[in-house]
Structure 1
């Protein structure tokens, strides 16, 4: 066997993106809101850049700040939102209050449960077990770890875990610390409501699939009574911990452009006013001509960076405008008449028409919005697959979904249309579509199948 070191020459091509080019691609990808934030960050890092905020930019910021301030004040007020004592009630009637009425509103589910645990008159070990159980709850308030595993982890008997678990399940919000949906719902109903209990224990699947006749025959009660109980079950909370997870950041949509009809023609108005104006600092510009070599080298680099950002923003605007021009040219009927008239259009077709790469079209249409006669829409909305009619015309998948939705909205709710019948109706309109595709489109727009749409009374 031969051993040794050998030298090989290998020639290959690689595309290496410069930092400036990467930044240009990133700027193209930014939404309007993200771009404003990016410019402010760059202005802090680059002394050559000065931002002059427009009235519209300040308006957006003020709205966001007011919204945040309002939410903070409401949260603070809610923390100390105690109900009036029963003796102070003007009606004089006795009222029932739960723990949540009297405790300060905590920001997390865990905080509220620990508070309720700590006010109980229980021993040290029970309290430790309770803390461990609470630590094992998921965001929806369910116990996703078997009690026996918690027992093994703590070195205690499983019965001890079960005892404390039963205590916690009486805490607010109702249905907390359960292991299954059935268990969660049962803890929210009255113990003497036997029919509702039977429905939850034996007929949740029948309820999900709208099989009210099956439930009626099995329990020997009328359809009306079944529907009343089902409506009650729908008022129960299947995710008792989820209400604590609503503090999500608010996404503000600022459209890059508006499409509006002027003198029977659609025009595009780009919203440059939402971006702060970028100026090159005159004082630092002066230092370039008068400063020492090190200062000049530093400032020249920063000046080049600022000019590249300005150029990239102009390129972003130009690319979006070109795409919008293609959209306006293609979608006149959609803007005039609505969703059923959305013409089929793919990113590949637009890319070829504008002599751009398809990935550029994708970046330029993601998180970019346009205000149109049909509402504020993401640019990606206009791209859809196409199908053929009997006459050979193209029709978009979005238009077909609008037709399916319209057909279902007009159906007899006591005898809802099957996917096969909807397919037949579309075929009669000259649209060559299969039942399987109709089912897929129906699911895409969030409409359940016919058996689940049936209304009994």
Structure 2
């Protein structure tokens, strides 16, 4: 019979400290999320302060801005070991608390005086000069106000305008609008149909439609050619599915027209706007702020940090020195805040030093891409960059996550520059990005009436010494958002 025993053994196990765990978490955040994290810490930590430029010396401020715009050599960038070190608090205090408060008061007064002077000189508030976006409902109501309508007809039309969504469509049925109108007597369905027709006659064409088909039909009169207009009306009204599938041959058979005529009509239909409401109001465009800017300086490609993404935060040396002089066991919470403040300053510097080092290493490997475009992209793995920078592969993966680089060829995510190596027939290596560039060039130079199939593209690549399967070509074509060859064919 076995007996239970209790024993002790020594074992070494590697773990991450709370400081390192936080640094890893902050490293993989995007610039926007990281800035928000730093500002939240800044609001609740008394030992941190925003590092704002000195407005009393505008000449120095302009000089600093010029220096930030001017590319700097990567060799001068601080290393990770240098930025982690935070000088002792006893040697950092250079001003007294009273001088710091007086300086802040003078800065606040200068801000107030200068802003009042600017408002007095201009004669109007800057906010009053801000352009206001014109909404779809405002645009339609202005057109209704110039029509000779009775008060009741205008009220019913305004109900329809107010029920349109951002696309410009009426998603409610007419009976549902009876209760929304709130008129006495209640509007009849005939009055609602007449009001709907009035709104649909306004600009932009296609507004207040209840479906995509109705929206396109409302815009058919825009086509100038009467023959094309009639064919377009028939296609949208009866053969919408064939239109969506771009079945030119099927439409030609049903319309008793040549494929070239159908193709010309389809080209006119493609110019119609299926979402007329998007012309008004905000366009909801998502902009990307690059973390790194690449420029050619004295013949060498150099990566520099974008100054606008670096949070301007520093340790408040006055408060830190006062806490050190009066520190006791009852101030454990303030001690935790001071440690967090030091970690935050160190993490900000370490994060951007690592991003800059990794970006410069990528630039050094992908110089041909910057010179000649995607076709010159080299195969690149995380291990190569990690060995060059002196960090782990996982660190490089976190650095390249949600980080963007601005180059003369456009803005790219850092992950874009990494791709596995594919062996060519001659024994060389080619990156997947370069192959996608070749496929894109082949499709762009193909004949419109005889587009290349995926199999034919694979055969042409093989003749160039690049062995790629047909399904791989299909995958790369889909990544490039290019349709299949059947839908790319145009009839002469």
TM-score between both structures, scaled by the size of structure 1? 0.69
Instruction: State yes or no: 1:313 paired with 2:358.
Output: no
Post-superposition shift, 1:214?
5.1
2:4 corresponds to which residue? none
2:483 corresponds to which residue? 448
Instruction: State yes or no: 1:178 paired with 2:213.
Output: no
- Map 1:34-183 → 2, pairs under 5 A: 35=34, 39=38, 42-50=41-49, 51-53=51-53, 55-56=64-65, 73=129, 75-76=131-132, 107-113=134-140, 121=149, 127=155, 131=159, 133-134=160-161, 136-147=163-174, 162-183=193-214
Count of residue pairs brought into register by the alignment: 403
Distance 2:180 2:296 in 1: 65
1:396 corresponds to which residue? 431
Give the stretch that moved more between structures: 38-47 or 364-373: 38-47
Distance 2:150 2:420 in 1: 64
1:89 corresponds to which residue? none
Give the stretch that moved more between structures: 429-438 or 134-143: 134-143
CA offsets 1:300-356 (integer angstroms, 9 cap, x no match): 444322211121123213432443355245434434432123233355775688553
1:407 corresponds to which residue? 442
Post-superposition shift, 1:234?
3.0
Indicate conservation of the 8 Å contact 1:32/1:256, yes or no: no
Distance 2:435 2:206 in 1: 42
Post-superposition shift, 1:209?
5.1
For 1:241, which of 263, 277, 286 is the aligned residue?
277
Distance 1:58 1:252 in 2: 24
Indicate conservation of the 8 Å contact 1:260/1:373, yes or no: no
- Map 1:330-369 → 2, pairs under 5 A: 330-347=365-382, 356=392, 358=394, 360-369=395-404
Distance 2:287 2:127 in 1: 15
For 1:380, which of 415, 419, 426 is the aligned residue?
415
3-state secondary structure, aligned to 1:189: helix
2:453 corresponds to which residue? 418
1:439 corresponds to which residue? 474
Distance 2:24 2:152 in 1: 59
Distance 1:71 1:249 in 2: 23
Runs of 5+ unmatched residues, structure 1? 1-12, 61-68, 77-105
3-state secondary structure, aligned to 2:221: coil
Instruction: State yes or no: 1:428 paired with 2:463.
Output: yes
Post-superposition shift, 1:183?
0.8
Instruction: State yes or no: 1:256 paired with 2:292.
Output: yes
Give the stretch that moved more between structures: 366-375 or 334-343: 366-375
Distance 1:22 1:135 in 2: 51
Indicate conservation of the 8 Å contact 1:33/1:252, yes or no: no
2:26 corresponds to which residue? 27
CA offsets 1:179-198 (integer angstroms, 9 cap, x no match): 22221011123397433322
Post-superposition shift, 1:240?
1.0
Cα distance change of structure 1 residues 251 and 372 upon mapping to structure 2, 3 Å threshold = closer
Post-superposition shift, 1:424?
0.7
Indicate conservation of the 8 Å contact 1:213/1:223, yes or no: yes
Indicate conservation of the 8 Å contact 1:114/1:134, yes or no: yes
* Root mean square deviation, CA, Å: 4.5
3-state secondary structure, aligned to 2:275: coil
Post-superposition shift, 1:390?
3.1
CA offsets 1:189-246 (integer angstroms, 9 cap, x no match): 3397433322322355555555556545544556665455444333322111112353
Runs of 5+ unmatched residues, structure 2? 1-12, 54-60, 70-124
3-state secondary structure, aligned to 2:220: coil
3-state secondary structure, aligned to 1:367: coil
Cα distance change of structure 1 residues 142 and 22 upon mapping to structure 2, 3 Å threshold = farther
Post-superposition shift, 1:438?
1.4
Instruction: State yes or no: 1:200 paired with 2:266.
Output: no
3-state secondary structure, aligned to 2:203: coil
Cα distance change of structure 1 residues 109 and 203 upon mapping to structure 2, 3 Å threshold = same
TM-score between both structures, scaled by the size of structure 2? 0.65
CA offsets 1:57-107 (integer angstroms, 9 cap, x no match): 9999xxxxxxxx99984634xxxxxxxxxxxxxxxxxxxxxxxxxxxxx74
